Every structure is written in structure tokens, then in C-alpha cells.
Amino acid sequence: MTPNTGLPRFFQEAKSTIVSVLFVFVSTTAIAQPFYVPSGSMEPTIQIGDGLLGSKYPYGYSRYSLPFGLGPHSDTRLFGKTPKRGDVVIFRLPRDPDVVYVKRLIGLPGDTVQMVDGRLIINGKITPIRRAGNANVENSDGTSVSADRFIETLPGGVAHVIVKLSALAPLDNTRTFTVPAGHFFMMGDNRDNSLDSRVPAEEGGVGFVPAENIVARVDVVVGSYDFLNARAVWHWVSAIRFNRFFHTIA
């Protein structure tokens, strides 16, 4: 009788581990990936401390669909589909691809985009807005402040919430931007507290976002934790925002 050396069991366990790793790699690369939000530029749509699930398949795939951005540079995407205006998009910051941002897609290739007195103008037409009360937005220190809440309707019909902290903020008046081919124009819903495409990359902003840098479309909040106000042990449980769990993004 041949003694059991344990090798078959070892290889069986190794096989299971490899299959598990491959499953995680494929699912996070091809299907969806979780992301965490540390800033308030997309409030109130996305709150500080939200955990997002980003769907990768709607836009096809680029090297930034892979972990750590591995893969060759390309101006096209595998199975590429053009993102829709109004989508909430996760992307790699063009001037520093190690940094991940989430913003709303405002301008498509060939569009002109401008801000005049706080109003968004796309292709020469003022985007309609209507007042919708007030909203509380969270500052980086955990305090909250009241902001004016509006519903903005983009060309194509996507209606979404924006907030304004002041009547006239530094980025409320801009030059006219023409979105280059293969690029997109991104803005935050928290209009007065968002570093976005209104600020060129050479000035420390986002600038135009290449199609290659897009990672995923945000569809749902899978969980949320108000870590800024969870300083003491007795606040840890109350800081969980149960009402944000599985909250869909629009």
C-alpha cells in the first residue's frame, strides 16, 4: 500500500486558492468593484463615507479596468461604449492616475461647456434648474452646513440634484471649454466645493478626462459610515447610515 504523502491534498488546496483568487480578479476587473468616498464634492448625491459599487461593463474596458492600471496605453476601450451625459462616473485623475475621483459626466466629446453666474451652459443653452428646498452638506471636519438645493436637467433629460453654498462662488464664471474628441467633462454636484473639469490639470484641477481613464459607472451605495463624527467609541454604531445601504444613484 502506497503511503499518503499529502501532496494530492496540498495541490487540491492550492487549486482552490488559485480558483478563488482568479474569481476575485475577474469579478473586480470585468464586472464591478467597490470604491470608498472620502470627500464631499458629490454631496448630496454621494456622501462622505459612502461605499460605492462601480459597474465596469457599461463602458467597456481599458488598462485602468485592471488592478493597479496594468496593461498597455490605448486611446480606445475594449468593447467600448460611450458614457451617457448625467452618469456618475469613477475615473483616474489624468494628472495623477494613482488618484481615483468620482464626478458627474456633464460634457461629451465636441460639447462646449461654460459656467456663467452659477448657471451651467452646454452647447450655448442654459441648463434649466428649479429650486428644491435646502440640503445639509458635510464639511471635511464633520460639521454640517445648509445649502440651497436645486434640480438640474441636463440635455437628454437626466434630472439630478445640485447644491449651492453661496450665490457666487469662484468657479461660477468660467471660460468656454470645448471638450476634445475622446475626452469628457466632469463636475461635482456640490458645485461650490468640487475640484473638477472647470479647473485645468495644469492648474491642479481635473481638466478633460480621457476615455481611457474612466473606470466604472456608479450604480449603488452598498454601505455608508459617517467616520468624521465617530470620534468616540459610543458614536461608532450611530455613525452607521443604515438608510444609505443599497441606495441607488441617479
- The edge-to-edge listing of strands for the beta sheet with 119-122 is 125-126, 119-122, 112-116, 177-178
Residue 206's nearest CA partner among 55, 112, 119, 97 is 97
Return the H-helix or E-strand segment holding 211: none
Tens-digit pLDDT profile for residues 169-210: 999 999 999 999 999 999 999 999 999 999 999 999 999 999
Tens-digit pLDDT profile for residues 28-56: 444 446 677 888 999 999 999 999 888 88
Q: Model pTM?
A: 0.82
Assess whether 103 carries a catalytic annotation.
yes
Identify the pLDDT of residue 78.
63
The backbone torsions φ and ψ at residue 188, rounded to the nearest 5 degrees and listed phi first, read -90, 150
Assess whether 41 carries a catalytic annotation.
yes
Specify the DSSP class assigned to residue 176: P
Q: How far apart are CA 81 and CA 245, in angstroms?
A: 29
| Residues of the chain under the 50 pLDDT cut | 1-7, 9-32
Q: Strands (DSSP E) along the chain, which ranges?
A: 32-36, 50-55, 88-93, 96-107, 112-116, 119-122, 125-126, 129-138, 144-153, 159-164, 177-178, 183-187, 209-210, 214-224, 247-248
**Active-site residue identified among 56, 62, 65, 103:** 103
Identify the pLDDT of residue 116.
97
Which residues sit opposite 55 in a β-bridge? 32, 217
Tell whether omega for the bond before 44 is within 30 degrees of 0, i.e. cis. Answer: yes
Contact call for residues 139 and 40 (beta carbons, < 8 A): yes
At which residue does the C-alpha cell 443604515 appear? Answer: 242
Identify the pLDDT of residue 68.
54
Domains and CATH numbers, the chain: 8-116+173-248 (2.10.109.10)
Identify the pLDDT of residue 21.
33
Identify the pLDDT of residue 28.
41
C-alpha cell at position 12: 487540491
Q: How far apart are CA 89 and CA 105, in angstroms?
A: 7
The alpha-helical segments, DSSP class H, found in the chain are: 7-26
Contact call for residues 68 and 28 (beta carbons, < 8 A): no
**Active-site residue identified among 41, 65, 194, 224:** 41
Return the H-helix or E-strand segment holding 110: none
Q: How far apart are CA 137 and CA 40, in angstroms?
A: 8
Identify the pLDDT of residue 79.
59
3-class DSSP state of 152: strand
